[in-house]
């Protein structure tokens, strides 16, 4: 008797579990049972115990029947919440407050279950410490023999994008030393800054930024660039992002004493070179991010800063890099950069070309 009671209970629980699941019937007659997660009107994601998340073409669905309530957004801007069924090419949402709401399947723009809806609402107003993604790059090399050289390259970048705005922070440092040279420090380049973007309309945004740099090879103690302007999302998709920027900036840069020069005097007097510049300039830029396959991301940017007060003087930077995923959090990065200054101090070159490679450690918070 107890065995019969136990078998009956197990059968009842099994049937209850089955009946509480959402069911999708396809036009070819196949049926898939699981939990409806979300839809963008083109595809529907159904979570199943056996196959995990299954993506189904929305146009291939003949019938939907759910026990759970779903949040359904329509093209007219309305949203209905409740269990969903379909009949005669229409979708029906059994709401608690407005009764049954009917709409053509073609009118559906979004479907979310409670968990997806809660995550979406949270993304609209995230905390300042939430939603950050980024990574740290580390590269190191040593040479011994005719030279005793050590090179250390460090970089950090992080971004916090939301539906309305984006905060970006970055910092990098390259230090090269040759113990057989005088002075021992051959190169010392440090950069850092942050930027805030705010969407005005889906394609247009405003931005404000502050960037800082020091470069021992150009005798640059510190350059601060404070920018503001407009940006345009020429392409914005999951695989590709292409932005164009335009605005104004105020630049304050200080060069330390550099190579001694000999003025035409009698007798000759050696004088060290140093100066401070303050000027307004344009900020023009282009930024590209492109996914290459499943594991590699290519990033490229070009910025041009023509001096508005000294015609013919300008700066420009170009960066091109890739990060290839090795695991969920570890990758391999390669980075090429070119920094150009039209009027460097006497004894310094106009171009600094930088090539680094090493490990990338990514994070998500």
Residue 56 contacts residue 27 (beta carbons within 8 Å): no
> pLDDT tens across 46-100, in order?
998 888 888 999 888 888 999 899 999 998 888 999 999 987 778 889 999 888 8
Which of residues 124, 155, 174 is at a domain's end? 124
39 and 162 fall within a common domain: no
Q: Quick one: pLDDT at residue 259?
A: 54
Q: Quick one: pLDDT at residue 218?
A: 80
Q: Quick one: pLDDT at residue 20?
A: 52
Who's near 271: CB < 8 A, 6+ residues apart?
260, 261, 262, 263
149 and 239 fall within a common domain: yes
Residue written as token pair 């057989």: 180
> pLDDT tens across 296-346, in order?
999 999 999 999 998 889 999 999 999 999 998 999 999 999 999 998 877
Flag residues of the chain having pLDDT under 50. 1, 3-19
205 and 67 fall within a common domain: no
139 and 277 fall within a common domain: yes
119 and 226 fall within a common domain: no
229 and 358 fall within a common domain: yes
Any idea how long the chain is?
Answer: 365
175 and 93 fall within a common domain: no
Which of residues 124, 155, 176 is at a domain's end? 124
**How far apart, in Å, are the Cα atoms of 289 and each of 236, 243, 298?**
10, 9, 6
For residue 303, the enclosing domain spans 133-364
The total of structural domains in the chain comes to: 2
107 and 166 fall within a common domain: no
108 and 187 fall within a common domain: no
Question: Using CA atoms, how far apart are residues 34 and 18, in angstroms rounded to an integer?
Answer: 9
CATH of the domain at 207: 2.40.160.40
The first and second tokens of residue 143, run together, are 């040479």
Q: Quick one: pLDDT at residue 345?
A: 77
160 and 55 fall within a common domain: no
**Helix locations, 22-141, DSSP H:** 114-124
228 and 356 fall within a common domain: yes
160 and 235 fall within a common domain: yes
């Amino acid at each position: 008797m107890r065995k019969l009671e136990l078998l009956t209970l197990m059968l009842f629980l099994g049937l209850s579990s089955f009946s509480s699941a959402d069911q999708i019937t396809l036009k070819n007659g196949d049926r898939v049972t699981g939990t409806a997660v979300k839809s963008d009107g083109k595809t529907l994601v159904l979570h199943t115990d056996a196959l995990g998340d299954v993506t189904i073409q929305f146009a291939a669905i003949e019938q939907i029947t759910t026990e759970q309530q779903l949040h359904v957004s329509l093209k007219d801007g309305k949203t209905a919440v409740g269990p969903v069924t379909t009949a005669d090419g229409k979708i029906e949402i059994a709401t608690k407050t407005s009764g049954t709401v009917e709409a053509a399947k073609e009118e559906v723009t979004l479907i979310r279950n409670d968990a997806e809806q809660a995550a979406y609402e949270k993304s609209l107003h995230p905390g300042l410490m939430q939603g950050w993604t980024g990574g740290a790059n580390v590269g190191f090399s040593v040479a011994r023999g005719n030279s005793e050289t050590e090179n250390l390259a460090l970089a950090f970048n992080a971004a916090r994008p939301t539906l309305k705005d984006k905060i970006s922070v970055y910092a990098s440092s390259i230090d090269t030393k040759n113990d057989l040279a005088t002075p021992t420090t051959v190169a010392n380049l440090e950069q850092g800054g942050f930027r805030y973007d705010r969407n005005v309309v889906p394609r247009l945004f405003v931005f404000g930024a502050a960037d800082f740099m020091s470069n021992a090879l150009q005798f640059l103690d510190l350059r601060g660039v404070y920018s503001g302007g407009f940006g345009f999302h020429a392409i914005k998709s999951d695989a590709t992002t292409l932005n164009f920027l335009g605005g104004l900036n105020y630049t304050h840069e200080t060069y330390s004493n550099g190579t001694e020069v000999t003025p035409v005097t009698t007798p000759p007097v050696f004088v060290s070179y140093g100066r401070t510049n303050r000027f307004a300039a344009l900020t023009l830029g282009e930024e590209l991010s492109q996914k290459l396959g499943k594991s590699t991301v290519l990033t490229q940017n070009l910025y041009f800063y023509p001096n508005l007060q000294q015609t013919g003087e300008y700066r420009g930077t170009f960066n091109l890099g890739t990060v290839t995923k090795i695991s969920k959090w570890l990758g391999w990065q390669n980075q090429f950069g070119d920094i150009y200054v039209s009027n460097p101090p006497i004894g310094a070159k106009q171009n600094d070309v930088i090539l680094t490679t090493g490990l990338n450690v990514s994070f998500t918070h």
